[in-house]
Amino acid sequence: MGFTLAVLSFYLVFLLLLLFTFYIYIKLVIAVKAGKEVPEWIYKLGQTLKPRRYIKNDDDDITDPGSLKEANLFILSLVFVNLLVFILLYYKKGRLDMALYTLLNYQFGVVVINLFINRIIKLIYVFSMYKSNKPIYSYSPTSAVIGCVFFSSFVLTLCISLTGLPAKPVTVQLDNTKLVVGQTRASDLLASGFIFKDKGPDSEIVNQRNDHFYYGQRAELIRDKKSYGYVYITPKWSDSDKLKNCIITYYRIEANNDQVSKIKFNNTNLSRLTIKDFQTRKLTDVFSLSPIDYEEVKTDTSYILTIQTYGYSLWKSYRINANYNSNNTLNFFSVGAQHTIWE
């Protein structure tokens, strides 16, 4: 839980920076429209955030239409550069979600590029006005807006690099019942006619928090006196809770289970898969998945697909495992969800 709170604090900082940037911009708009000056603290902030000066002029603490025009130019050009990069990424990757994900990862770089573009535009303007008597300013209010956008983009990129983006959970079909690993409650399975061997709805489930893959307590899943594999039952927020309030964070079925033919992972029938499928195809294709962030690890007997690889301090990570014996016969299939709130 501590890691989750730490990561959430970064997102809170980003949100506050974004709101602060918007607040400064609105203050600038109102001041220009009213023909007044922005508050003194905005001037001071702009002077602090201003890059090395290429215009030697002492009259930077000025609020006039020019300061608003420069701020608007930076914002509009940032939107344009983002749109251009997004189109290029979409053309390269062929997926909207992948293009958006990559753009967010590159956001700080995009802002830096836009900053250079605006510096070039400013220099061109300075040289074009060199022989005129019109004063040229490096506006402090504009620098305050640009500086806040700069730091907001840095924190956003940091947040994305720490957490990634949320991934679509893996769904297990148990005959005609859906089990969403990391979301489905034990009470939902009870309502569908399943029971947990040697446990009742009010049985106390304790999470010892001593493992990175298996949370809570293991139980065999049974319906109509038939085993459907086993699951790990996990209290959602606390260290212990009644079984009916817990969620399912792991599912596994052995090769010798008679119900394998009735089990599907993301609509893929497990009984129809062979080791050749895992040896010759991408694991995402085997299970008809299209995550934006994943990792495939293949060995002679184990084939593991991890979805959401940036850690699981904020968003859940999912792990599909197809395990075979040395003679190429199936050992087991499993799906698990990971999150620091359960560790």
Q: How confident is the model at residue 4 (pLDDT cuts 50, 70, 90)?
A: confident
Which whole number is the average pLDDT over 319-342? 95
Count Cα neighbours of 252 within 13 Å in the Cβ-side half-sphere. 20
Statement: residue 54 has pLDDT above 50 = no
Radius of gyration for the alpha carbons in the chain, expressed in angstroms and rounded: 28
Query: Lowest-confidence range among 34-38, 113-117, 129-133, 319-323?
Result: 129-133
Q: What is the largest CA-CA distance in the chain?
A: 93
- The reply to whether 113 and 24 lie within a common domain is yes
Phi, psi of 231, deg, nearest 5:
-135, 165
Asked which of 122, 140, 163 is the last residue of a domain, the reply is 163
Detail the DSSP E strand segments found in the chain: 171-174, 177-180, 195-196, 204-206, 217-223, 226-234, 240-242, 247-254, 263-265, 268-269, 294-298, 302-307, 317-324, 330-338
Are 8 and 147 members of one domain? yes
Please check whether residue 118 is in contact with residue 142, taking contact to mean a CB–CB distance below 8 angstroms: no
249 in the same domain as 121: no
Same domain, 150 and 230: no
Question: Are the C-beta atoms of 229 and 253 separated by less than 8 Å?
Answer: yes
Query: Of the candidates 130, 163, 196, which is a domain's last residue?
Result: 163
* 233 and 114 in a common domain: no
> Whose CA is closest to 255, among 227, 295, 294, 284?
227
Q: Which two tokens stand for residue 289?
A: 């998945």
User: Do 11 and 58 belong to one domain?
Assistant: yes
Element (H, E) at 313: none
CA 299 to chain centre: 28
Mark whether 93 and 39 lie in a shared domain.
yes
Report residue 136's pLDDT band, with 50, 70 and 90 as the boundaries: confident
**Confidence check: pLDDT of 148 > 80:** yes
- DSSP labels, 215-239: -SEEEEEEETTEEEEEEEEE-SSSS
pLDDT bucket at 219, cuts 50 / 70 / 90: very high
C-beta of residue 141 within 8 angstroms of C-beta of residue 38: yes
* Total domain count, the chain: 2
Domain that holds residue 300: 171-342
Last residue of a domain, one of 134, 163, 192: 163
Are 146 and 21 in the same domain?
yes
Same domain, 263 and 181: yes
Kindly state whether residues 158 and 44 are assigned to the same domain: yes
Residue 59 has pLDDT above 50, yes or no: no
Query: pLDDT digit string (tens) for 171-204?
Result: 999 998 999 999 999 999 999 999 999 999 999 9
240 and 125 in a single domain? The answer is no
Same domain, 177 and 313: yes
CA 155 → CA 24, 70, 105, 176, distances in Å?
Answer: 18, 24, 11, 45
Residues 83 and 87: their CA atoms lie apart, in Å, by 6
pLDDT at 297 over 90: yes
Residue 251 has pLDDT above 50, yes or no: yes
C-alpha 184/C-alpha 195 separation (Å) is: 14
